[in-house]
Chains A and B, each alone.
Chain A
Amino acid sequence: MAIPANNTAPLFGEGASSTLRLVVYLVIAVALMIADRRGDWLERFRAAAGTFIEPIYRLAAAPSELARDARVALADRRVLTEQNAELSRQLLLAQTRLRRVEAVQEQNQRLQELLSVQKTLGLSVQLAKVIDVDFGPYRRNTIMLDLGSDNGIKIGQPVIDARGLLGQIVEVRPRSCTVLLISDKSHAVPVRIERTGLRTIVRGNGTLDTLDLPNIPISADIKPGDKLVTSGLGGRFPADFPVGVVRSVGNDSTGMFAAAKATPDATLDRSAEVLVLHELANPVGPPAQAEEFGPPAALAGSDEPAPPATTPPAPVEDPAKQGEP
């Protein structure tokens, strides 16, 4: 029995010594918190510990996976038949759409070759499953994927779903990784408004259905319905991925700038399968000089000669160099 040990304990605690211990522990805790907010070495410590903690995550995720499997296993025949009919109809629809997309892609390829503006964006992607999601009131907006450093995942790779940009990888463990969503308060994406080309920055605000666009000049041309795509600046995300759609435009609290709210394109709260981009964006800085620019010689021959296209940049650059001796 445990009673004898209790009898020796005084009725009103142990007094000063336990209070002192509490104070010591609280001081340590506060020091840790400050170090964690400021520092980076604790991040590394946490990444190392992540390897040991991973099995607990797997264990915690097991019941919900079991429930999902059970729902499939126990579904009755009628439901399955209905589902089958529904799915085959959807497949037909999807195939038709796919054909059209193929045709468009072929046409696109021809046009791009014709213009030789850019190499086609050959994307190499990796399919990943979402294994854990947790959005607490103060937690970072993150999801966990079942790919890790064993699959060649590296920190900083962009993650997309079928509709748009989802986030980027911030932590990598051997068999899993953590993705910081674009809706997180600490996340910002350089974007371009597709209609006007205006460059700005989209910040997350912690909620899954809203992105903030702070500090837009009041005179800027932006209105609800404008599409936002990544601008490719900053060297983290490749250009021209859809990010969101502007929902409302208003003034910010100071009245000096406009501030807009946008709805993210990616289904931040629903994606079960996502794509990890393997091709990282161009590094910061000007790209290498293009060799050929303009239509192929065979097409350009009959019209005006091409040279004017290469000459204009030179006079523009020279004054700028002279201006800052």
Chain B
Amino acid sequence: MRVRGLNWLFLGGIVASFVLQLMPLPAVLLPFKPYWLALVLIYWMIELPEKVPLGLCFALGIVADLVGGEVLGEQAMRLCILCFIVLRFRSRLRFFPMWQQTLAVFALLLNDRIVYLMVHAIAGDPPPDLDFWFAPVAGMLAWPWLFLLLDDLRARLRAGDT
């Protein structure tokens, strides 16, 4: 019963992150759209790494590419790199205080942005504007709230069972 509820929370979080990613926003807010999918995946990797193997990150990246309509394989690559780094340093990330964790998430998102930039630079696209770099900041600000929300939901699931 508990596992079933947890699975629903996991699946629901990922579907919600896809929807948030695609939601049309006013042009002013668009550069501040955090990389929701990455944030949700980071949470699950820190808390329950056995639920998020590297292969799942890759598969979700492919789906995100299909949904988002950019170069196929690009988000798969970004998520794989992200996932790998988080799984490597998971034991440390897990026991960081919140502010340190938030900074770590910022670094991860920044690294992700740089990978994104590299992929497009190699493909020959021109460099982006300054607002390209706003998204990691927005992601960093969103992280504590997302973490608390998912933690709370998970705690409620556990409490409901016992």
Residues of A within 8 A of B (CB): 2, 5-6, 9, 11-13, 18, 21-22, 25-26, 28-33, 35-37, 42, 46, 49, 53, 56-57, 59-61, 63-64, 132-140, 142, 206, 269
Contact = CB atoms under 8 A, between A and B. Distances in A.
Given A28-B73, A28-B76, A61-B23, 13 more contacts: A2-B48, A6-B49, A22-B81, A25-B80, A26-B77, A32-B76, A33-B73, A36-B73, A56-B22, A60-B18, A137-B131, A139-B69, A142-B69
A49 B66 contact: yes
Contacts of A28: 58, 73, 76
A53 B129 CA distance: 29
A265 B70 CA distance: 28
Interface of B: 18-25, 27, 30-31, 47-50, 54-55, 58, 61-62, 66-74, 76-77, 80-81, 84, 87-88, 90-91, 116, 119-120, 123, 125-126, 128-129, 131-132
Contact of B84 (A12, A18, A53, A57): A18
A37 B71 contact: yes
A29 B77 contact: yes
A60 B17 CA distance: 10
A29 B24 contact: no
A252 to B, nearest CB: 16
B67 A53 contact: yes
Contacts of B123: 33, 37
Nearest to A139: B70
A22 B22 contact: no
Contact of B23 (A2, A5, A64): A64
A133 B84 CA distance: 33
Given A25-B80, A26-B80, A137-B128, A59 B71 contact: no
Contacts of A134: 22, 24, 30
A58 B116 CA distance: 27
A171 to B, nearest CB: 9
B29 to A, nearest CB: 11
B64 to A, nearest CB: 11
Contacts of B49: 6, 9
Given A13-B88, A36-B71, A30 B77 contact: yes
B69 A140 contact: yes
Contact of B69 (A12, A46, A63): A46
Nearest to B80: A25
Contacts of B21: 60
Contacts of B58: 25, 28-29
Contacts of B20: 60
14 contacts: A13-B87, A13-B88, A25-B55, A30-B77, A31-B73, A33-B74, A33-B119, A35-B72, A60-B24, A61-B24, A132-B24, A134-B22, A138-B116, A138-B125
